[in-house]
């Protein structure tokens, strides 16, 4: 599954099925509209115009990736270095090579949620931009189509944020606390530079998405108008809430596939820049299981887990051996004291 073509089967199936449903939703919502009513050019039917935009969007997004992914990743790398230079070191981690189809689909979730949440908050601006102020958004299907089309407008801007994080994560660029900082009672902190950026915007998406979806599909049409939806209507609304991000993901997954085909080039480019910033290649260390607990806390994590550290990290195994020797000597002294007391009694 590392470099085989079979790993692209699941993403391709996802795009065909979910993307097909998304196009069907747009088609059903826009079919009643007469030619030239909204988003039309020279009298072209609305559906044809939308499908034309979607058809040319994928090549445009691919060009966006090749033009901006590596330069923006370099900017994030410089920003991270400037912010964390005082306490953190930057290195290139020897990460695993496996990245299957389900990982590609999961990677599309964060930019999709970001696109949907942002488009909902900017719905009026997007309406004016697209010229769809008269779009019939009174029905659930119309709301779903409007949300999907608005999210697809925001998606290229969301990808400008998240594409560089894919590049950084795939290159294994990490930061970790300096050895001197570990002496100040701080836990080892190792984090990928790409995750440092994506956590900021991904956190916003996780908070903004449920709020914006609840407002658009439940509060405004029902609670705000004083009507109480029945169970079937509520289930339909929830289906749309979870379905719209899936639809957007179907248009993001092809760009993730493009990123997979560019691994060698981007790793060399970002790796050279990281080395210029002082990074060296480091390996993963394994923290072994221990059941001994000192007065200051647990000495190690549970067995079978790995943490990402550098060669400059404190040697925990050596520290554990020293403590074991000290504990053995303490047991010997306690045993000697017990024997001395027993002799005194005799």
Strand spans (E) along 101-165: none
Which pLDDT score, from 0 to 100, does residue 309 have?
Answer: 44
pLDDT of residue 302: 44
pLDDT reported for residue 298: 44
307 phi and psi, to 5 degrees? -120, 155
* 158, 159, 162, 166 alpha-carbon torsion, rounded to 10°: 170
* C-alpha span between 206 and 116 (Å, rounded): 11
Q: Which of 99, 77, 76 is nearest to 259 (CA)?
A: 99
**Mean pLDDT in order along the chain per 10 residues (346 residues):** 77 90 73 51 60 79 92 90 84 83 92 88 65 55 73 89 92 83 74 85 87 80 72 76 87 93 85 84 63 47 43 52 78 83 74
The per-residue pLDDT for 110 is: 92
Predicted structure pTM score: 0.73
Q: Is 93 helix (H, G, I), strand (E, B) or coil?
A: strand
What is the 8-class DSSP label of residue 34?
P
Contact (CB, 8 A) for 172 and 113: no
* 282 φψ region: left (φ > 0), alpha (ψ -120 to 50), beta (else): beta
Contacts of 135 by beta carbon, 8 Å cutoff, 6+ apart: 38, 127, 142, 146
| DSSP H or E stretch at residue 116 | helix 109-121
């Amino acid at each position: 599954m590392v470099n085989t073509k079979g790993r692209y089967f699941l993403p391709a199936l996802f795009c065909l099925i979910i993307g097909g449903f998304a196009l069907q939703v747009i088609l059903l919502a826009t079919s009643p509209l007469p030619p030239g009513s909204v988003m039309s050019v020279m009298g072209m039917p609305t559906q044809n115009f939308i499908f034309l935009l979607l058809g040319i969007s994928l090549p445009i997004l691919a060009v966006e990736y090749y033009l901006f992914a590596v330069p923006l990743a370099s900017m994030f790398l410089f920003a991270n270095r400037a912010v964390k230079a005082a306490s953190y070191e930057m290195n290139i981690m020897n990460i695993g090579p496996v990245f299957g189809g389900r990982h590609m689909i999961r990677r599309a979730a964060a930019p999709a949620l970001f696109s949907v949440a942002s488009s909902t908050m900017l719905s009026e601006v997007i309406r004016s931009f697209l010229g769809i102020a008269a779009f019939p958004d009174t029905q659930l299907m119309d709301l779903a189509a409007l949300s999907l089309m608005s999210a697809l407008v925001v998606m290229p801007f969301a990808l400008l944020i998240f594409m560089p994080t894919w590049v950084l994560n795939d290159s294994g660029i990490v930061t970790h606390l300096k050895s001197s900082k570990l002496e100040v009672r701080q836990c080892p902190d190792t984090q990928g530079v790409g995750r440092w950026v994506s956590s900021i915007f991904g956190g916003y998406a996780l908070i903004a998405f449920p709020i914006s979806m609840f407002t658009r599909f439940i509060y405004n049409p029902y609670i705000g108008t004083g009507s109480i939806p029945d169970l079937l209507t509520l289930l339909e609304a929830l289906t749309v809430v979870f379905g719209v991000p899936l639809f957007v993901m179907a248009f993001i997954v092809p760009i993730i596939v493009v990123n997979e085909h560019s691994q060698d080039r981007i790793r060399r480019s970002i790796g050279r820049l990281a080395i210029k910033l002082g990074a060296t290649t480091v390996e993963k260390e394994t923290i072994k299981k221990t059941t001994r607990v000192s007065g200051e806390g647990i000495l190690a994590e549970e067995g079978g887990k790995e943490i990402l550290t550098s060669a400059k990290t404190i040697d925990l195994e050596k520290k554990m051996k020293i403590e074991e020797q000290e504990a053995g000597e303490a047991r010997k002294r306690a045993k000697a004291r017990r024997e001395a007391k027993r002799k005194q009694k005799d």
